[in-house]
């Protein structure tokens, strides 16, 4: 075993988390406070690795709670974040990227990375399916894992969220993607993409599209309640009137069997049962508020599950591990082995509440150590306080 010691100095986000650690334990263990007419909604966020699930979760929460990095599989297990707005509590279920058992085996991923998205679905009232529209390889179809998940839980209302629209120059492509990812059906209605829009090159240079909704959220409370109560789809997908794609998507009632009853998974590219479509850029927060307002309106009367003082169900240790892993993934040039084991060596609170945390990163192979600390085996290692022979290095 080789160990790499990594020191983390003061971290503003950590300060607050840990200053409140004891209080958080107390809040998690006791009955949550309740407003007069509490409402609640559990929102699962699923999608392929790197689609931006944790970035979106953090934006919805208004705080950095979940780890984010440009490398895949940053999220290793499910975690919950809590949003409170007036009498409504949204519980955000962030999940690891959906992956196949074969890939999980090949990359030696934890079992939680395979199981947790499914576990979160079991508890969800609504599911957001995130698609990275900047990824040319994956954006045209939902992965088999995502489709399997949706098929397994067809009763959970699903919402398609096209993320990273800031990276798409030709905005008309988004309309084509919507058609493919929904199999041309949204909310029980067929989509028709206007031919004027489909090849309108003028739209390519314009600003990112607005959120895809039939009417402004504030007018929709009644409509969405009706939709949930009767399961009778009335609304279609159109685009916001301020969008450069206005009127390009029109809808028409679907005849015949319900599209959700189709079972030929292998031949499916999209999911014809999405209730809504949103287009946003989670990184900049663009249009995230519109999605948040929509979610708040979907909440149903019911007791809050968390005390209003709780931001996440993660323990301080989990938050610390996540932040350190996030930094390793973000700053090291190579893929980081999944088998890295984090062991906390020092955990000290300073006089003004700041924390000094040191972790040993324990890896099973020397080659892994070189990935984590490229200087460890270089001739100048000693000057960097690294020593492969002792098995400990200070980054």
Ligand X SMILES: Nc1nc2c(ncn2[C@@H]2O[C@H](COP(=O)(O)OP(=O)(O)OP(=O)(O)O)[C@@H](O)[C@H]2O)c(=O)[nH]1
Q: Which residues bind ligand X (CB under 6 A)?
A: 47, 49-55, 68-70, 72-75, 96-97, 163-164, 166-167, 281-283
Nearer Cβ to ligand X, position 171 or 189? 171
Q: How far is the CB of 167 from ligand X (least distance, A)?
A: 5
Nearer Cβ to ligand X, position 96 or 184? 96
DSSP H helices in the chain: 12-19, 21-29, 53-61, 101-106, 111-123, 144-152, 172-181, 195-198, 221-230, 288-298, 316-331, 366-372
Nearer Cβ to ligand X, position 64 or 384? 64
CA dist 263 to 24, 152, 254, Å? Answer: 45, 11, 18
Nearer Cβ to ligand X, position 86 or 111? 111
Nearer Cβ to ligand X, position 204 or 234? 204
CA dist 116 to 100, 149, 225, 238, 281, Å? Answer: 13, 11, 29, 33, 25
**Long-range Cβ contact pairs of 251-260 (< 8 A, separation 24 or more):** 251/186, 251/187, 251/189, 251/190, 251/191, 251/192, 252/189, 252/190, 252/192, 253/188, 253/189, 253/190, 254/185, 254/188, 254/189, 254/190, 258/188, 259/183, 259/185, 259/188, 260/154
Nearer Cβ to ligand X, position 121 or 214? 121
Query: Which residue's structure tokens are 């698609």?
Result: 131
Nearer Cβ to ligand X, position 59 or 182? 59
Q: How far is the CB of 329 from ligand X (least distance, A)?
A: 9
Q: How far is the CB of 228 from ligand X (least distance, A)?
A: 27
Q: How far is the CB of 311 from ligand X (least distance, A)?
A: 17
Q: How far is the CB of 270 from ligand X (least distance, A)?
A: 19
Query: Which residue's structure tokens are 């996440």?
Result: 312
Map residue 192 onto helix, strand or coil.
strand
Q: How far is the CB of 93 from ligand X (least distance, A)?
A: 12
What is d(CA 52, CA 163) in angstroms, rounded to the nearest whole number?
7
Q: How far is the CB of 313 from ligand X (least distance, A)?
A: 17
Map residue 217 onto helix, strand or coil.
helix
């Amino acid at each position: 075993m080789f160990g790499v010691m990594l020191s983390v100095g003061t971290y503003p986000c950590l300060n607050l988390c840990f200053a409140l650690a004891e209080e958080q334990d107390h809040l998690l263990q006791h009955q949550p406070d309740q407003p007069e007419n509490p409402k609640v909604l559990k929102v699962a966020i699923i999608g392929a690795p790197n689609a931006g699930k944790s970035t979106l979760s953090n934006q919805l929460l208004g705080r950095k709670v979940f780890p984010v990095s440009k490398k895949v599989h940053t999220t290793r297990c499910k975690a919950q974040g809590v949003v409170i707005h007036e009498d409504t509590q949204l519980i955000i279920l962030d999940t690891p990227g959906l992956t196949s058992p074969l890939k999980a085996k090949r990359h030696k991923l934890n079992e939680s990375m395979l199981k947790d998205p499914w576990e979160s679905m079991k508890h969800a009232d609504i599911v957001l399916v995130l698609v990275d529209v900047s990824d040319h390889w994956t954006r045209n179809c939902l992965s088999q894992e995502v489709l399997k998940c949706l098929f397994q839980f067809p009763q959970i209302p699903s919402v398609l969220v096209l993320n990273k629209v800031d990276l798409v120059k030709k905005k008309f492509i988004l309309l084509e993607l919507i058609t493919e990812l929904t199999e041309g059906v949204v909310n029980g209605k067929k989509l028709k993409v206007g031919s004027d829009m489909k090849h309108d090159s003028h739209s390519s240079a314009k600003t990112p599209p607005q959120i895809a909704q039939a009417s402004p959220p504030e007018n929709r409370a009644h409509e969405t309640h009706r939709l949930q109560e009767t399961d009778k789809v009335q609304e279609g997908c159109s685009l916001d009137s301020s969008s450069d794609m206005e009127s390009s998507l029109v809808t028409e009632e679907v005849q015949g069997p319900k599209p959700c009853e189709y079972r030929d998974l292998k031949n499916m590219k999209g999911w014809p049962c999405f209730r809504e479509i949103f287009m946003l850029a989670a990184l900049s927060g663009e249009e995230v508020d519109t999605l948040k307002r929509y979610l708040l309106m979907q909440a149903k009367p019911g007791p809050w599950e968390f005390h209003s003082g709780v931001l996440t169900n993660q323990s301080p240790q989990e938050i610390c591990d996540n932040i350190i892993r996030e930094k390793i993934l973000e700053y090291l040039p190579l893929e980081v082995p999944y088998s890295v084991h984090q062991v906390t060596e020092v955990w000290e609170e300073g006089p003004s509440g700041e924390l000094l945390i040191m972790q040993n990163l324990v890896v099973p192979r020397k080659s892994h150590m070189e990935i984590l600390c490229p200087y460890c085996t270089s001739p100048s290692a000693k000057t960097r306080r690294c020593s492969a022979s002792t098995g400990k290095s200070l980054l």
